[in-house]
Amino acid sequence: MNLVIVDYGSGNLRSVQRSFERAGFSSTITHDPTVVSEATHLVVPGVGAFSDCMGNLEKLGLLAPIREHIQEDKPYLGICLGLQILFTEGTEFGSKPGLGIFPGQVVRFPKNELKVPHMGWNQIQIKKELPILKDIPNEAYFYFVHSYYGAPKDPVVIATTTDYGLQFPSSVSEGRLFACQFHPEKSQDLGRQLLENFARL
């Protein structure tokens, strides 16, 4: 296995790598497109703005190897921004195209009595039985930090939902791609279980 974590200038890379290490798996952090293209398992984590993420990936020449990895149905794990960039379009700071893997937009939570960003522990409702969710119970708690979420046009890709004033897709999947809005690296034992499941795909 060649597990690669994509570095495009975002934070929390080492915490993702340390979580894999605690689960018993070594990984490489890189922004080298050649190394990314050789990955058997690819992780795209991230926090921050959609447009900055897409801009940095483009500048570093990482868009093509990420797309190819997904198109070849190799295991892909997107975390937070790594989920959002899979959609057709992000709406943060104006419209910005994403990778276009899933038709749909990345939209902000509506204004209501709930605080934005959505931050802290919240539950997931499992909509699909997937190998990456093995030994993770329905309504398990995971850690979230985000103001935007992906809204796919086709609900068949939704793997889990979470309630925060509305039911939003907290993860999506297709083939061996899985991407989550929550942060497994900040989600203690169940987060580590998810990362272990991914590494074993």
Residue 183 annotated to the active site: yes
CA distance 21 to 192: 10
Strand partners, 118: 146
Number of helices (H), then strands (E), in the chain? 6, 14
The yes-or-no answer on residue 53 being catalytic is no
What pairs with residue 96 in β-bridges?
90
What torsion, rounded to 10 degrees, do the Cα atoms 186, 189, 195, 197 define? Answer: -160
Token reading at 115:
């605080």
Which member of 41, 80, 118, 146 is catalytic? 80
Cis peptide leading into residue 117 (ω within 30°) = yes
List C-alpha distances in Å: 69 to 74, 129, 172: 6, 23, 17
| Catalytic residue status for 89 | no
- Please answer whether residues 169 and 109 qualify as being in contact, where contact means their C-beta atoms are separated by less than 8 angstroms: no
DSSP track, 104-140 = EEEEEPPSSSS-SSEEEEEE-EE-S--GGGTT--TT-
Residues labelled catalytic: 80, 183, 185
